[in-house]
Amino acid sequence: MGVVVGGVKFFLPRWAHLGRQARDRHSRYYLEQRLAPRVAAAMPVLLYGRMGDEPFQEHAETINVSTRGAFVPLTAEVTHAQKLILTNLQTNEELACRVARLVRTEEGKLLAGVEFLQPSPRFWGTTISAMSAEGPGPISTGRDRRSG
């Protein structure tokens, strides 16, 4: 069983399911794979970058954080792999990062997963391993989000 193209018999249909199985298995594994555990945290940050030739900065609040980066809502139309500077406004520490993931919500909002160029366990003011050992609960930022 196979396909004949130009007098040559190809056996691709017989073995095609193996490639599909490998892709499916890899995509499931990839979706669940994390470089570091994430912890829900509303941390105030400032992002610096460039949109073409123009610099921009944007204040935001993280959705979650890890030793490798953060997930942040943005209004700036950043691109995948774009380099940014992320500043933790509680500590004034800053790190270079890149946009590793972009998600557009149903409401049209842009969420960006930013990855530090170098892992930094203490960037968020405490070690992520200590935070993640306490469970997936939110991290207190010392202020009430409802009060502004």
CB 47 within 8 A of CB 70: no
For the chain, which residues make up each domain, given as ranges? 3-32, 39-139
CB 38 within 8 A of CB 66: yes
- The CATH architecture annotation of domain 39-139 reads Beta Barrel (2.40)
pLDDT one digit per residue (tens) for the chain, 148 residues: 555 555 555 555 555 555 555 555 544 444 545 567 788 999 999 999 999 899 999 999 999 999 899 999 999 999 999 999 999 999 999 999 999 999 999 999 999 999 999 988 889 986 565 555 554 444 444 444 444 4
Other C-beta atoms closer than 10 Å to the C-beta of 94 total 16
The pTM of the full predicted model, rounded to 2 decimals, is: 0.66
Type and span of the H or E element at 4 = strand 3-5
